[in-house]
Structure 1
């Protein structure tokens, strides 16, 4: 978007705008530039982007930032067909709609504090008898042709999410911040409240508080396209399937029982620590198999386990497929290093030089008298020349 681009407001004059509501509720969230921009969007019809910059006395980047803030709250939709920009301006929520919406309310709390929002939410209590008429007492409706009410499924049901949290004993660490994060994650990964809850439950901390960092990592990893099982060697494909269907303690017990061993208390502590670090069960299982089966260790070592776990978490390994892929990469890297070391060793092998003949104790000098005289003449000539240069 450039200052010279043309724009058109597609629904000018069809916006319901309450200046007091917009000032009290939206201004603290969007800021003064976006606040003023929205009012210009309800006033302009066509023009160039430079008109906004001139009226607001701001540069192009602050303008774009303000436009993003408005579009992020659904106050404007922006369409670009490369010849014209179209701004579809939407009406703000009413006062009651805004404060009854948990997402917007939490967003406002994050800006001006809970006490001030509580003050804005207070209503004057009505008194007296309600003498208002009911709808059916005034209007006649043909119920046979009554349109069905549309139910929106776009909004994230925080009430239902929180209710299930309470039933499962989960709690927030920072409720306001985490509520906003949950709304954002639900929208980003296109999840309903129950789908997001199951993910949040599986990544919660040991003390039953939500772990938004682990939840975000898990969702990001799950959203990435996974390598097809058919692309792995059969043994690893079977490992991936098995890893997804067992808990780590059960998985290690099966491996140990096959070898005639048992799971020690230290190994249980190691697995418990991995769970506290939010390493998914399926990844733990691949790690267990790698150490006990592929590396042929008798038991888990905390140092080895932590080294691998740290490496995998840094490289965002949160699925069995990604863990197996990491193992194969590690194996390939080790093979390359071994080959390079072997080649280097060959190059460093010393070449045995043949000793000069005269160093042999049994060497017999067979130089003739004539040859010795000639060599002596050369030596004396060289010596004479050298003395002449020095004088």
Structure 2
């Protein structure tokens, strides 16, 4: 779109917007430029009779073309205009703003307005009935016969994210927002972008929460993971088994199992480290594999934070989001510059205790724990062969 391009109005699209609603509710969200552009389009509406260059509009409003394009973007996002390309020109369809009640009853619009002018100011705009008020309005069937006028439904917002039910499930499951205003907007944007219902979005949000706190970063990572094709055919039998185990345990439970084999307990510092990894946006299976790799490579009973964070930063840089991607990355990464001795086995990123011929001098109790984890990791692979 260029300044010399032309536009026309959609025929029979004359609107009479509620100016109070436009100024009080929409203007704080879209700003002065978009407010002026919308009013210009409404008041210069000609029923599609002629083509108008954008310079005509710019000359009247006295600002530049970049500001005009930004104003069009905001008006479109708020549902006040539709912008179409039609052959060598553009076509504009106008829509009326929502009335005050419909706007403020919409959870997303209300939350966005609160982030601009504050909740107290929004409460002052809210229309409220006294508690003791009784609705005496007649119903349609009480006024019109079956041959009467067609009932007109008031305009509803296109957004249909049921925030109240979302919050009810959060309270039931002990979940909470980090910042409700920004999280609500992020959740709506995520649901609309991926074509998900509010309940589908909640299921993902619950599965990716960090200690009860909703995490939009992990929510998006989980959706991306589900959309990616499987790469498990490139993994060895041991790696596939390790991946299945990593996918079936929460990080703290997984770490506790590994540390019991080393006669150790999970420390508070390690729990905090797991939370930090989750807050970085890593999903549970990736965290578990990073933990497994760190313990194996450092040959320690405790997580080496410096070593583990180097892996995490490397994964963030390389955009590794799934356990499969992590294992394939370690396959390709050189593990040592030294050449293996003749007759020795090449190094692998799968820990030695995952192999069936691994021997240990641990106690009978430790050996049973070890065998149990091996059965979990290798059992299903054995049945498939």
Give the aligned partner of residue 288 of structure 2: 285
Give the aligned partner of residue 114 of structure 1: 119
8 Å CA contact 2:10, 2:92 repeated in 1: yes
Report 1:127-166 matches (<5 A): 132-141=137-146, 155-166=160-171
- Residue from 210, 215, 223 that aligns with 1:211: 215
Mark the CA change 1:81 to 1:107 in structure 2 (over 3 Å): closer, same or farther. Answer: same
Q: Which has the larger radius of gyration?
A: 1
Q: Could you tell me how far apart the structure 2 residues matched to 1:327 and 1:127 are?
A: 68
Give the aligned partner of residue 6 of structure 2: 6
Scaled by the length of structure 1, the TM-score of the pair is: 0.71
Mark the CA change 1:274 to 1:132 in structure 2 (over 3 Å): closer, same or farther. Answer: closer
- Residue from 281, 285, 304 that aligns with 1:302: 304
8 Å CA contact 1:252, 1:263 repeated in 2: no
8 Å CA contact 2:166, 2:199 repeated in 1: yes
| Pairwise CA distance, 1:321 | 1.9
Q: Could you tell me how far apart the structure 1 residues matched to 2:80 and 2:314 are?
A: 44
Give the aligned partner of residue 244 of structure 1: 247
8 Å CA contact 1:221, 1:317 repeated in 2: no
Give the aligned partner of residue 19 of structure 1: 19
Q: Could you tell me how far apart the structure 2 residues matched to 1:129 and 1:183 are?
A: 34
8 Å CA contact 1:161, 1:197 repeated in 2: yes
**Is the aligned partner of 1:321 residue 2:292?**
no
> Which deviates further from its counterpart, 234-243 or 39-48?
234-243
Give the aligned partner of residue 40 of structure 1: 40
> Which deviates further from its counterpart, 240-249 or 86-95?
240-249
Q: Could you tell me how far apart the structure 2 residues matched to 1:288 and 1:93 are?
A: 52
| Pairwise CA distance, 1:201 | 2.7
Q: Could you tell me how far apart the structure 1 residues matched to 2:164 and 2:317 are?
A: 35
8 Å CA contact 1:249, 1:268 repeated in 2: no
- Residue from 173, 180, 193 that aligns with 1:188: 193
| Pairwise CA distance, 1:22 | 0.7
8 Å CA contact 2:259, 2:265 repeated in 1: no
Q: Could you tell me how far apart the structure 1 residues matched to 2:89 and 2:250 are?
A: 56
Mark the CA change 1:263 to 1:10 in structure 2 (over 3 Å): closer, same or farther. Answer: farther
Q: Could you tell me how far apart the structure 2 residues matched to 1:299 and 1:127 are?
A: 67
Mark the CA change 1:12 to 1:240 in structure 2 (over 3 Å): closer, same or farther. Answer: farther
Is there any run of 5+ residues in structure 1 with no aligned partner, and where?
A: 340-391
> Which deviates further from its counterpart, 264-273 or 157-166?
264-273
What's the CA shift string for 1:281-332, capped at 9, x where partnerless?
Answer: 2112322443456x4936453243333233324444332122223323433x
Give the aligned partner of residue 372 of structure 2: none
Q: Secondary structure at the match of 2:333?
A: helix
8 Å CA contact 1:98, 1:105 repeated in 2: yes
**Is the aligned partner of 1:86 residue 2:88?**
no
Structure with more relative contact order (C-alpha pairs < 8 Å, separation 6 or more): 2
Is there any run of 5+ residues in structure 2 with no aligned partner, and where?
A: 340-385
> Which deviates further from its counterpart, 95-104 or 5-14?
5-14
Number of aligned residue pairs: give it. 327
Q: Could you tell me how far apart the structure 2 residues matched to 1:82 and 1:57 are?
A: 28
Report 1:304-383 matches (<5 A): 304-331=307-334, 334=335
Aligned-pair Cα RMSD in Å: 3.7
Q: Could you tell me how far apart the structure 2 residues matched to 1:289 and 1:126 are?
A: 60
Q: Could you tell me how far apart the structure 1 residues matched to 2:59 and 2:116 are?
A: 29
8 Å CA contact 1:186, 1:193 repeated in 2: yes
What's the CA shift string for 1:235-293, capped at 9, x where partnerless?
Answer: 43444344323334555677678xxx345214785366214431322112322443456
